[in-house]
Every structure is written in C-alpha cells, then in structure tokens.
Amino acid sequence: ISIGWVIFSFESQVDFFRYLGYLWGKNQIPWINSKFAYFSFSHRIGVLLCLIFATPIPYNLWKKIQSKISLSYCTVGFLMALFILSIAYLVDSTYNPFLYFRF
C-alpha cells in the first residue's frame, strides 16, 4: 500500500527511490525524532480513541446506554458529536497530507 501511494506522490523516479530508501531505513534515520514527537503529540486524542474503540468496552457501554436511553436520541446525539468533532479537526489542521488534495 505504501509503495502504491508513493508512486503517485512523487513526480520523478529519483525522488521515488530516495523516499523508498528512507521508508526502509537506508540512511539510518532514527525512528524517534522531532517529527515523531510532533505527530504523536498532535494526534494523541485520535490514537487514544483508536485504542479504546479497538476493545469490547465501547460495545458493552453502548448496550448499557441503549437500554436506558431511546436508541434514536442516542444515535443522533452520537453522530452529531462525531460530526462536530470531525469538522473541528478539519478546521484546526492547516497541513493536510492527503494525496488527492494536491491535485
């Protein structure tokens, strides 16, 4: 997958092979550096949510909420909160590494 994205990301073959070398550790670039610290700090909430939602805890909590609150209100509230958080993250970030936004 990462090779496929790299093919469309770079315009020259030199940059393509240089990046693949970096990707596979050709130049001994350390894994933990200032960029790692920046991205781990700026995406800490998303990583934490991914770790939580990868467990069965949210499913059990969702079942308890469904038994106490009407499903329609709970679903609408959850989706609205998710929508507002998504918009907040999109507005907050000025750098977007998504490939298709370049075209």
Residue 99 has pLDDT above 60, yes or no: no
pLDDT digits (tens, 9 = 90+) for 41-72: 888 888 898 888 888 888 888 788 777 776 67
Q: Which of 35, 42, 46 is nearest to 82 (CA)?
A: 46
Listed residue (50, 43, 54, 41) closest to 97, CA to CA: 43
pTM score of the predicted model: 0.40
Instruction: Kindly indicate the confidence band of residue 16, based on its pLDDT and cuts at 50, 70 and 90.
Output: confident
Contact 20, 6 (CB under 8 A): yes
Residue 102's pLDDT band (cuts 50, 70, 90): low
Cα(15)–Cα(8) distance, integer angstroms? 11
